[in-house]
Structure 1
Amino acid sequence: MKKSTKWIIGIVVILVIIVAGYFSFGNKKSASSQTVTVGIMSGTSKDDKIWNEVAKIAKDKYKLDVKYKKFTDYTQPNKAVANGDVDIDAFQHYDFLADWNKSNKGSIVPIGKTFITPIRVYSKKVKSINDLKTGATIAVPNDATNESRALFVLKNAGLITFKPGTKQATLSSIAKNPKKIKIKELDASQTARALSDVDAAVINTNFAQTAGLNYKSAIYVEPINKDSKKWINIVAAQKKDKNKKAYQEYVKAFQTKKIKNLINKEYGQAEIAAWDLKIK
């Protein structure tokens, strides 16, 4: 065999070994990575900063490839989890999930806390909730979940009391209303627009932001206590997948000091990291 032929064969053998080694060992990292698809609601650029940073931490620390699927309708993410179109979702609080499971005979469960967005009372007529006069009108959202939350806010503000055992509050749950407050039920998206026509309104943060209201101008803020525990937002999964390693690792990627600091930077007190809150 000629020297040049041996030389060529030697090079080919070396290349074969290198290529084989790459696919056997060098590609191990990509082979071991796992994709997790998370259903979220379409939001602001601030929201995107949070989600993207969580994905980066999940990639760097746990080798997870996080993909987000955005929805514009709150009824869709849980359906997507139930159908397997997404692996987990992160858009709702405990109470919303409980209500959805009840209405849809679902078995989706919370697997980790994320944040809480305190609901607030706004007014163009008074500077403090204590300044509301007898017979004042307060607008509240009219859907079951948000109306209950708004009524609990009025209860915590000392304006009304509930009948014993109230968990999901409605107007019929009110036991005492010493100031004879008139409660006007409106679609949640209309509460901010009603501010000029009522004395005050309980407005969800997203609708307050859309209306250009500064959360610091609120006359009352939902306290973080046992009543507000069910309003903590969560990551949720199908019950059979609740202990799946990759999904738990996504939760861990969210529940980091870096994300807590980023939430504080982007939202101030409008949104609060909730996984380590001490609730009494």
Structure 2
Amino acid sequence: MRSNTKTIAAFAGITVLALGLTACGTASDPSSAKDGSGTPDAAKPLVVAASPTPHADILTYVKDHLARKAGLTLEIKEFTDYVLPNTATDQGQVDANYFQHKPYLDDFNQKNGTDIVPVADVHLEPLGLYSGKLKALKDLKAGQTVAVPNDTTNGGRALKLLADNGLITLKDGVGAGATLADITDKKGLEFKELEAATVPRALNEVDAAVINGNYAIEADLNPAKDALALEKADGNPYANFLAVKNGNEDDPRIKKLAELLTSPEVKKYIEDTYEGSVIPAAAQAG
């Protein structure tokens, strides 16, 4: 049984949860994981915010198989949205997070005034186009509806995937920063923008949907087998990484976790567990 602390981040409860995290101080809170000089105490638990799959699963593997031998006590807090892990990290309610890629973090920092930085790339989750109604990419026709994520980075990433597969045409040069306004030829398709975590639940309500890799896996989809179209790994800038508030990179517990997350053992765990649906960053780089 997993001993992770689950945080259910329903939109309506975000404010309450954030206040609750601020108000409650426990022995595992980062604020208490300091020695008398105010520097991190390497003997205290390292609290990491993570999306459930595959991030928390990978962290749980590290916790169960590698952390104790490395002298690291690891506590995992699961979040189901893409906002609270960063705000909790920035406010010191957790020590680190593991759920996002660089384009998303850059956009988040700019919009929210946070100062969170990446520490170590761990894996890539290829974005994919899925359908509960269609068997092949060629079956997607004019008049049908495609759901896409509504956040800036994943929305643009989704449109680039569609353009790369000839389903739409985008303005020259927009790349992964594309918005619906940058589509020059929809080829008859209609689009429905949804919060990324909710896209899998809408899969049977639309003709096709572009779904983030972690949410696809949570919805029992196999990106390597079920996607009508899938991002290429080569040269992909969307590696997911361990991140901390700027200035905490030298915490010895962070350095230890970064080393474990990029170890051969974790690389093998990712390859064996996800069979191409999640790709180790080292494998991507190689």
Question: Which TM bucket (shorter chain)?
Answer: 0.7 to 0.9
Q: Distance in 2 between matches of 1:238 and 1:189?
A: 24
Does the Cα contact within 8 Å between 1:189 and 1:207 map onto a contact in 2? yes
Aligned match of 2:212: 204
Does the Cα contact within 8 Å between 1:112 and 1:275 map onto a contact in 2? no
5 Å-filtered alignment, 1:186-197, equals 186-197=194-205
Does the Cα contact within 8 Å between 2:101 and 2:240 map onto a contact in 1? yes
- Give 2:178's aligned amino acid: A
Are 1:126 and 2:172 matched, yes or no?
no
CA shift in 2, pair 1:196/1:108, >3 Å = closer
Aligned match of 1:217: 226
Q: 1:35 aligns with which of 31, 44, 47?
A: 44
- Give 1:138's aligned amino acid: V
Q: Give the superposition deviation at 1:74.
A: 2.9
Q: Give the superposition deviation at 1:33.
A: 5.0
Q: Distance in 1 between matches of 2:98 and 2:182?
A: 31
Q: Distance in 2 between matches of 1:197 and 1:65?
A: 44
5 Å-filtered alignment, 1:35-184, equals 35-41=44-50, 43=52, 48-55=56-63, 56-61=65-70, 63-166=71-174, 167-177=176-186, 179-184=187-192
CA shift in 2, pair 1:196/1:253, >3 Å = closer
Q: Give the superposition deviation at 1:43.
A: 1.9
Give the alignment's TM-score, normalised by structure 1: 0.75
Aligned match of 1:10: none
CA shift in 2, pair 1:119/1:60, >3 Å = same
Are 1:277 and 2:281 matched, yes or no?
no
Q: Give the superposition deviation at 1:102.
A: 0.9
Q: Which has the larger radius of gyration?
A: 1
CA shift in 2, pair 1:83/1:224, >3 Å = same
How many residue pairs match? The answer is: 243
Does the Cα contact within 8 Å between 2:149 and 2:158 map onto a contact in 1? yes
Aligned-residue Cα RMSD (Å) equals 2.6
Does the Cα contact within 8 Å between 1:33 and 1:65 map onto a contact in 2? no
Consecutive unaligned residues of structure 1, counting only runs of 5 or more, are 1-31
1:139 alignment partner, SS class:
strand
Deviates more, 1:249-258 or 1:67-76: 67-76
CA shift in 2, pair 1:145/1:87, >3 Å = same
CA shift in 2, pair 1:49/1:196, >3 Å = closer
1:275 alignment partner, SS class:
helix
Aligned-residue identity in percent: 37
- Give 2:68's aligned amino acid: K
- Give 2:267's aligned amino acid: K
Are 1:185 and 2:193 matched, yes or no?
yes
CA shift in 2, pair 1:128/1:255, >3 Å = same
Q: Distance in 2 between matches of 1:143 and 1:157?
A: 21
CA shift in 2, pair 1:234/1:189, >3 Å = closer
Q: Give the superposition deviation at 1:255.
A: 0.4
Does the Cα contact within 8 Å between 1:37 and 1:69 map onto a contact in 2? no
Higher helix fraction: Structure 1 or Structure 2? Answer: 1
Q: What do the CA deviations read for 1:58-111 (whole angstroms, capped 9, x no partner)?
A: 4323x2222323334432222222222222211211122112211211111101
Q: Give the superposition deviation at 1:214.
A: 4.0
Q: What do the CA deviations read for 1:17-54 (whole angstroms, capped 9, x no partner)?
A: xxxxxxxxxxxxxxx9533523223525x755521332
Are 1:241 and 2:248 matched, yes or no?
yes
Aligned match of 2:37: none
Q: Distance in 1 between matches of 2:89 and 2:198?
A: 30
Q: Distance in 2 between matches of 1:138 and 1:170?
A: 14
Consecutive unaligned residues of structure 2, counting only runs of 5 or more, are 1-40
2:141 alignment partner, SS class:
coil
- Give 2:166's aligned amino acid: G
Aligned match of 2:32: none
Q: Give the superposition deviation at 1:262.
A: 0.9
- Give 2:96's aligned amino acid: I
Q: Distance in 2 between matches of 1:260 and 1:134?
A: 42
CA shift in 2, pair 1:225/1:164, >3 Å = farther
